[in-house]
Amino acid sequence: MNSYPAPALALVRTMTLAAHEQPAKAIAFQGAPGANSHLAALEYDADCLPLPCFSFEDAIDAVKDGSAARAIIPIENSLHGRVADIHFLLPESGLSIIAEHFMPIRHCLMAKSADAELKTAMSHPQALGQCRHYLRSHGIIPVAYADTAAAAAFVAANDDTSAAAIAPPIAAELYGLVPINDGVQDDASNTTRFVVLSREPVSNVGVTGTLMTTLIFEVKNVPAALYKAMGGFATNGVNMTKLESYQNGASFAATEFFADIEGAPGDPAVDRALDELRFHCNSVRLLGTYVQTRNRG
């Protein structure tokens, strides 16, 4: 907890105490109060008790040890792509994805004074990447920090008037900073996809709407392995909405893939596609099935 800047500590302590008293209502998130993940938790469940955690690992551990019933984790952004390390953390966590949540992201440049000559802007690397054109055009040097709201708290706690933070507008209110520009993201459609994690999967029996299943798999290191593995989805009419490759380990001999498909195990077409996938892979692991909430337009 002491890793947070001083202006955030009182809020962190208050929120942590409330969450610990009712862990069934708690949703763990990475960041200081006022971070985008904090806002996403409240959007997803307005009655929840958000539990701030310093790192993604801490948020996941809070669910694993029972301090929170759920965690909400950002996994990708429409401007800046995949959130670093998430593809490794999700499988290692042993938790199940039970929902997805999409949130428009608005970044505010804030500082200690409205007329300050700004030289640096501190924020999470994802936020800095989503504002890189603005920062470059204004000659402001990006400085990476653990999360957006904690960056605002850090700027508030220090005397450097040339330092700014990029965070949600609410962070300026929480930490006594002055909004300089409310909307410095490089694209107005900037959106982050979050997933909600739980110790146990949820039952989707009787659920209306399109179901999604997230999985990871490692293809065999033979010619056309991926082509053959994908064939089962095509021939069985299973729509794959995401496929992303990444390397796990230092051998570079086998590639792992992170995928989203429409449908769920138990559907004959999905089961056939997954059986064919397993035939062409060293490993296949399902990370969760949940209701699709994305805009299909």
Annotated active-site residue in 29, 154, 194, 233: 194
> Tokens 């997933």 appear where?
195
**Which listed residue (16, 148, 192, 289) is catalytic?**
192
Q: Take residue 250 and report the two structure tokens written for it.
A: 């230092």
The total of other beta-carbon atoms located within 10 Å of residue 141's CB is 13
Helix (H) or strand (E) holding 42: helix 36-44
Active site residue 192: yes
Amino acid present at 92: E
16 carries an active-site annotation? no
- Please give the structure tokens belonging to residue 83: 């959130």
Measuring CA to CA, which residue among 124, 193, 118 is closest to residue 152? Answer: 124
Cα separations in angstroms, 31 against 19, 58, 72, 204: 15, 10, 11, 31
Residues 6+ apart with CB under 8 A from 223: none
From CA 59, how far away is CA 57, in angstroms rounded? 5
Amino acid 169 reads: P
CA–CA separation, 139 and 133 (whole Å): 10
State the burial class of residue 49 (Cβ atoms within 10 Å of its Cβ: 0-12, 13-18, 19+). Answer: buried
Q: What is the SS3 assignment for 5? A: coil
Report, as residue numbers or ranges, the catalytic residues.
Answer: 192, 194
